[in-house]
Amino acid sequence: MRTAEGAEALGMVEEHEASALGRPFRDGVASAVASIVEEVREGGLEALRAVARRLGDPEPVTLGLRDPVVDSRIASLDRESQRIIDAAAENLERFFRGMMDRFHDYECSSPGFQAGLRFQPVRRVGCYVPGGRHPLPSSALMTCIPARAAGVREVHVYSPSEAAEVLYAARRAGADTISSLGGAQAVAAMTFGSGGFPRVDMIAGPGNRYFTEAKRQLYGLVGVDMIAGPSEVAVIADCLASPRPVALDLLAQAEHDPDARCWLLTDSPALARAVESELLLLTGDIPRRPGETGLSERVSALVLDSLEDCIAACNRLAPEHLELHLSRGEDLALEKLEDYGAVFIGAGSCVAFGDYMAGPDHTLPTGTAARFSGSLSPMSFLRVQGWVRLAAEGGGEAARDVAAFARMEGLEWHARAAEARLDGESV
């Protein structure tokens, strides 16, 4: 664990802000992704097969989630795993359907006009489930279920994983198909419909840096939920916090990714030392991959003069996940904390609850993007569409005002179009 105090700690906050700004332009990832995207766009199915062979991925195919092949693979999944996935799905469905109950089309009358908004779901969504070292059925639940809750008609899962857990979760979440594609090539296939794979209007879900960079490059041709980077957690803790739960929660986030960012923000040097001791005890017998940093080495402790300073630093970090381990003043802290993806309140809570079962989505903004975006939810899949009708009363005066406004901006044909409505003319 790296520990910094005072000015050095604030310097680490500034370093994170600068790193977030430069992330998309490092490591040659952008050029590699652009090459794969163009290869897939031009070459279709044969290109997708060639990329899969180069990367050691499975043969690219699409299966309906009621296909007998899927049935046979799901049959190998034990009943307890099915029960856990079902329980998580029920919680998420309850949460997101309750959220949708609060959304209604909106109408407002103004002098001369009737106007309103419609919430229209996206038609076709691609939900991505990363491969990785272990199956990630939670990603299928956390992307497909809010899409279905929003009313999306077609939900297509893309994943390099053929694990029974992923297939079962995708089916349980209501997806239509699953395609065995990953990385930048999956984003290209979803965008262009390359090789006959399902083309979508929007892509949701986290992935590796190549997948993420492909989303960034193709945004505009296809919608995306967010441009997410490595996982993050910030834990704000005071001197009375218990070191072991704090350490465990930091390690839980660190195990996501060698590039994960895990911060302890505290005004207590003694707590920082105690957490460091716990980290060493907890990870002492865990082997690591060659060349990989240990979990505890991915943790940084920022010791600041006060909890108010910790809150200010946290708002600058804008972490994906935030935990509060405070003996008092949690409500006041929450009033001052503005920039985070999801917050877990009290020592009895932890990020793992939100990762799987609690309700709010685990697909969250990273790299300071919580300054301007939030959690994936049914809202992510809704388009806000406005409508306008000229009112029977006051419409003439409104048309005259619009014409005057248009001429203020030098747009004569806008003005004439409005004036044509003064005498009820049709166009």
Domain ranges of the chain: 29-225, 230-284+292-375, 394-427
151, HSE (Cβ side, Cα atoms, 13 Å): 11
User: Is 29-225 assigned to CATH 3.40.50.1980?
Assistant: yes
Cα separation, 326 vs 345, whole angstroms: 9
Give residue-wise pLDDT tens across range 173-227: 999 999 999 999 999 999 999 999 999 999 999 999 999 999 999 999 999 999 9
Query: What is the mean predicted confidence (pLDDT) over 34-56?
Result: 94
The average pLDDT across 331-355 equals 95
Task: Return the active site residues.
Answer: 320-321
Candidates 135, 221, 215, 140; CA nearest to 177 is 140
pLDDT at 423: 67
Q: 421: helix, coil or strand? A: coil
Most distant CA pair in the chain, distance: 84
Q: Which value, to the nearest 10 degrees, does the dihedral of the CA atoms of residues 197, 200, 206, 212 take?
A: 90
Do residues 116 and 124 touch, judged by C-beta distance below 8 A? no
User: Which of these ranges, 176-180, 247-251, 260-264, 296-300, has the smallest mean pLDDT?
Assistant: 296-300
CATH 3.40.50.1980 for the 230-284+292-375 domain, yes or no: yes
Q: Do domains 29-225 and 230-284+292-375 have the same CATH topology?
A: yes
Alpha carbons within 13 A on the beta-carbon side of 390: 18
pLDDT in tens, 412-426: 999 999 999 886 554
Q: Tell me how far apart the alpha carbons of residues 325 and 396 are, in angstroms, rounded to a whole number.
A: 61
The DSSP element (H or E) to which 126 belongs, if any, is: strand 124-128
Distance in angstroms (rounded) separating the CA atoms of residues 390 and 419 = 12
Question: Listing from the earlier edge strand, what are the strands of the sheet with 62-64?
Answer: 62-64, 177-179, 154-158, 124-128, 202-204, 223-224
Q: Write out the two tokens for 130.
A: 């990363």
Residues 364, 230: Cα–Cα separation, whole Å: 11
| Per-residue tokens: 239 | 């001197």
Averaged pLDDT of the chain: 92
**The pLDDT value given to residue 394:** 82
Average pLDDT over residues 289-306: 81
- What pLDDT does 427 receive? 40
Distance CA 55, CA 175 (A): 26
What's the rounded Cα separation, in Å, for the pair 24 and 413? 43
Number of neighbours of residue 373 by Cβ within 10 angstroms: 16
Please state, for a pLDDT cut of 90, what percent of the chain lies above it. 80
Residues 6+ apart with CB under 8 A from 341: 319, 320, 321, 322, 364, 365, 366, 370, 374, 375
User: Can you tell me the mean pLDDT for 364-388?
Assistant: 96
Cα 398 to Cα 417: distance, rounded to the nearest angstrom: 13
Q: What is the pLDDT of residues 57-97, one digit of tens each?
A: 889 999 999 999 999 999 999 999 999 999 999 999 999 99
Long-range contacts of 328-337 (CB under 8 A, 24+ apart): 328/238, 333/236, 333/307, 336/308, 336/311, 337/311
Q: Which pTM was predicted?
A: 0.92
Cα–Cα distances (Å) from 90 to 85, 225, 269, 276, in that order, read 9, 23, 43, 38
Q: Which of 160-169, 289-298, 309-318, 390-399 has the lowest mean pLDDT?
A: 289-298
Residue 5 has what pLDDT?
Answer: 87
